Structure 1
Amino acid sequence: MHRHALPVLAGHGFPATLFVSTGWLRGPYDNGGGPGTMLDWDQVRELAGAGVEIGGHSHSHPQLDRLDDDRLRTELILCKEIVSDQLGTVPASFAYPYGYSSRRVRRAVRETGYAQALAVGNSLARRAQGPYALRRVTVRRTTSDAEFARLVEGRSLARAFARDRALTKGYAMVRRVRQARDRIGRPDD
C-alpha cells in the first residue's frame, strides 16, 4: 500500500483505510506472527500523514470469536493503545480479523471505543447493517482496473464474489460445527 497504492489513491482522490494488526508491523511491538514483509511504523505514519485512516485490526490477528473475554479485550485494547501511541490519534474504525465476529465480539469492539467495524461479506456497506457489522469488498493483488471500477461503482458484485461467498458460507458452517463440538467437550478426531 505504501509504495504502490497510495500514489494511485491520491491521484484519484480516493479515501482509504488501512487496518493494522499492531503485533505484525515491524517495530517495537512486532510479535513475529506476520505472514511476510509488513509495513513499519514510519511507513504507517507516512500513510496517516497522507490522509489514509489507520484503523485497528487486533494485535496478533486471532479469530476473535474464539477467544475468551479477557483475551478478546486485551487484543482490542492493546491494538487501540499502540495505534494511539504511535500516531497520536485514536483509531475510529476496526476490521475483524478474517471477517469473523459475533454479538459478543461486536459488543466488545463498541465498548473498547471504536465507532464502527467491518466484516468481509463482499458486498457494499448499508446503513441497515449497523455500525459494527458493516460489509466490505475484497480487493486483491489480481484485481484488474476494470474489476476495481465495477467494485467502486457497486456493479457486478454478485458475479465477482460468487465463489468467495460460497466458500465463506461453507467455512462458516464448519466453524459453527467446531464451536458446537467444543462447547460439548468432544475431543478432536
Structure 2
Amino acid sequence: MYHAVSEAPARATRTLSVSPGAFAEQMEFLEDGGFTPLTTAELGALWRAGKAAPERAVLITFDDGYEGVHRHALPLLTKHSFPASLFVSTGWLPGPHHAGGELDTMLTWGQVRELADGGVEIGGHSHTHPQLDQLSDEALHFEIARCRELLVQETGAAPVSFAYPFGYSSRRVRQAVRDTGFHQSLAVNNAPASARQSPFALTRLTVRRGTGIEEFARLVEGRATGRDFARDRVLGKGYAVVRRTRRALRVAQGVRGEHGPRE
C-alpha cells in the first residue's frame, strides 16, 4: 500500500510517502525477484473463479490519488509492464466535484484517465475520505455511491474494487460497499492477504518513507516480523475500540434526540 510518491511531499503525507528513487528500487526488486503484480480486480476474479493466484503474486496499490502517482510511479510501472490499482477519493480531486480536505497535490481527472489507459485499475476510496464506520447510514451510502458515480462519469468504466479510508471498516461498512456494486475491497492491518480472508476485508502492508529495501524485501516475501508493525497493530486495535464506542454513543444520542431522554 502506497500513498504519495514525491521528492518533497507535504508535511501531512510525508510519513506515508516514498521517494521516486525508493519506488524505482522497489519495482526493480519485484522484477528481479520474479514477482507477478496483479490488479485488485484480477485477484478478485481469480478468487471468484476458484483459481489460485500466480506464484509470487503481489498487488501494487495507491490510496487517495496524489499527483506523484502519475508523475513518478506511472513511468516506472510502464517500464516494468506492471499493473497496479489506484483508489481515488473523488472529492479531493480538483474540478467541479471538488469537496476540499485534500492533504497534498492531487491528480487531475485527465491524469486519472491516463493512468487507466496505462494499465492502472481505478477503484473507489470514498468521496471525502471520512472514517466510514463513524457515519450514519445515509452519509455512508452517499460517500460510497457518490465516489462510484463520479468514477463512472469521469472514466467511463464502473469500478469494481474499493479501499477503506484509513483502512477502517465494520460489517455495516463492508455490506454497504458490496451493496453499492463493488466486488472486493481492501483494508490495511499490515499483514499479507490470504484466501481465508473475506474478499471485502483483504489486508495490505504499508510502504512508508522509512521503508528500506531490506524491510521491503521482508514485506513482499512474507518474512515481515512482528516488530515491523507492532506499534501500528497495537494502535490499530486500541483505536478500533475507540471507534466502536464513539459509534455506539452517536447512535444512542440519536435515539435520545428522536424520542427524548430515557428514564
Q: TM-score, normalised by structure 2?
A: 0.66
Partner of 1:145: 213
Q: Secondary structure at the match of 1:170?
A: helix
Q: Secondary structure at the match of 2:182?
A: coil
**Which of the residues 237, 244, 247 maps onto 1:169?**
237
2:199 partner amino acid: P
Q: Secondary structure at the match of 1:18?
A: strand
Residues of 1 paired with 2:248 and 2:137: CA distance? 18
Partner of 2:71: 3
Partner of 2:224: 156
Give the drift of 1:184: 4.2
- Name structure 1 gaps, 5 residues minimum: none
Residues of 2 paired with 1:115 and 1:97: CA distance? 17
Structure 2 residue 120 is the aligned partner of structure 1 residue 36: no
Question: 1:118-144 CA deviation, whole Å, 9 max, x = no partner?
Answer: 111111111211111111111223322
2:75 partner amino acid: P
**Structure whose alpha-carbon radius of gyration is higher:** 2
Q: Secondary structure at the match of 1:19?
A: strand
> What fraction of aligned residue pairs are identical, expressed as a percent?
62
Give the drift of 1:155: 1.8
Residues of 2 paired with 1:184 and 1:26: CA distance? 37
Give the drift of 1:89: 0.7
Residues of 1 paired with 2:111 and 2:213: CA distance? 25
Q: For 1:1-189, list aligned pairs within 5 A.
A: 1-185=69-253
Question: 1:98-153 CA deviation, whole Å, 9 max, x = no partner?
Answer: 11111111111001010101111111111211111111111223322332232222
Structure 1 runs, 4 residues or longer, greater than 4 Å off: none
Q: Which has the higher contact order (CA 8 A, sep 6+)?
A: 2
1:137 partner amino acid: L
Q: Secondary structure at the match of 2:91?
A: coil
Contact kept? 2:133, 2:247, Cα under 8 Å: no
Give the drift of 1:157: 4.8
Contact kept? 2:193, 2:203, Cα under 8 Å: yes
Q: TM-score, normalised by structure 1?
A: 0.90
Structural RMSD (CA): 1.8
Q: Secondary structure at the match of 1:4?
A: helix
- Describe the shift of the 1:151–1:10 C-alpha distance in structure 2 as closer, same or farther (beyond 3 A): farther
Aligned residues: 186
